Amino acid sequence: MGQTVTEPIGADTLTINAVPEQASKARAFARATLRRYGCSPNSIDNGELIVSELTTNAINAAPGQKIEISLFPVGELIAIYVYDPTDDLPKQKTVGPGDETGRGIPIVKYCSRRSGVFKSVSGGKVVWAMMERYS
């Protein structure tokens, strides 16, 4: 019989309110967790940037609601999941040189090996990225 898993087993998870002031808490959580996982300094920087971008997108998608940031090792990779309770999938915007927003998805793609999104069985979505542990 198949089993539905909605949260990674053994993940380190931080739950925050989706308000801009909480983004720094997510970045600090990512940095500390990636250090504990023994990631290289460059990977720690990349992971913090990925978490920052995905968290900011979740804050904008679900203002005032609870969001979850989860990190867990998968062999030589680190998985980063950011859950928010909205069903709207992220969309890549066309941005111009003077635009201050709209670059999150390209940044995540650049800093990760793979990335994507899936809908949670309990509602909402998880935007995820897989990054190198040692880069």
- Picking from 1-5, 9-13, 103-107, which range would have the lowest pLDDT averaged per residue? 1-5
Give domain status of residue 40, yes or no: yes
> What end-to-end distance do the CA atoms of the chain give, in Å?
39
Give domain status of residue 49, yes or no: yes
Query: Residue 92 — pLDDT band, cuts 50, 70, 90?
Result: confident
Report the DSSP beta bridge partners of residue 94. Answer: none
Give domain status of residue 98, yes or no: no
Q: Which domain holds residue 109?
A: 12-90+103-132
Could you report the per-residue pLDDT of 109-126, keeping only the tens digit for each? 999 999 999 999 889 999
What length does the chain have?
135
Q: Which two tokens stand for residue 44?
A: 């720690």
Q: What is the pLDDT, as a whole number, of residue 129? A: 97
Determine contact, residues 31/44, Cβ cutoff 8 Å.
yes
Give domain status of residue 127, yes or no: yes
Domain count, the chain: 1
Asked if pLDDT for residue 37 goes beyond 80, the answer is yes
Give domain status of residue 96, yes or no: no
Could you report the per-residue pLDDT of 38-56, keeping only the tens digit for each? 999 999 999 999 999 999 9
Give domain status of residue 26, yes or no: yes
**What's the pTM?**
0.90
Give domain status of residue 70, yes or no: yes
Max Cα-Cα span within the chain: 53
Single-letter amino acid, residue 108: V
- Separation between Cα atoms, residue 128 and residue 82, nearest integer Å: 6
Single-letter amino acid, residue 29: F
If you write DSSP's letter for every residue of 48-88 in order, what string do you get? HHHHHHHHHHHHHHSTTSEEEEEEEEETTEEEEEEEES--P
Q: What is the CATH number of the domain that holds 34?
A: 3.30.565.10
